[in-house]
Amino acid sequence: MTAAPPERPDQIWGFAPVSAPDARVLVLGSMPGVASLRQARYYAHPRNTFWPIAGQVLGFDPALDYPARLAALQAARVALWDVLHACERPGSLDADIRRDTLVPNDFAAFLAAHPAITRICFNGAKAAALYRRHVLPTLPRALDYVDLPSTSPAHAAASFESKLAAWRRALTF
């Protein structure tokens, strides 16, 4: 995590995308949470179900080390990124993102470099809303969009099994 200037202690920056040139699906979160930022890893919170779900759906062991999990995603032609490049947010909750501070990632350039991507899956409602408001109007090509239940431990309303079923439908072609 990059240190914020003292006058903006809640400023955070996201990660680079994880992708292979032949990726077909892009999974988007909103912005990494505190645990992920501290570890410089996507979905690092121990109760986040992203890796167990991705492992079951894509056929890899979610207990693999982080580089091997990223390689498994890439081998399955799944890319991983976040809607936001930067924002101010105290803590990890999406609801606390300060709307006047958000800076979206450069999706036009990313999608131009990844022409095989035909589907974007949103890991949670906030990622979908941010994308549709701040990114979608700027894009030249239509894609298939799938809203998914968040894998965050803050989204406990849905069971693991129901999340798994939704993610399986979205990530299986």
Q: Which of 1, 10, 7 is nearest to 97 (CA)?
A: 10
Nearest Cα to 146, choosing from 165, 16, 62, 158? 165
- Per the annotation, the verdict on 105 as an active-site residue is no
Of 83, 69, 77, 153, which Cα lies nearest the Cα of 115? 77
Residue 1, number of CB atoms within 10 A of its CB: 13
The tokens describing 48, both together, are 């986040």
Q: Answer for the pair 84, 37: CB distance below 8 angstroms, yes or no.
A: no
d(CA 35, CA 28): 17
Query: Letter for the amino acid at 77?
Result: R
Say which of 19, 30, 36, 48 is annotated catalytic: 48
Q: How many angstroms separate the CA atoms of 57 and 68, rounded?
A: 16
Helix, strand, or coil here: 113? helix
Catalytic residue set: 48
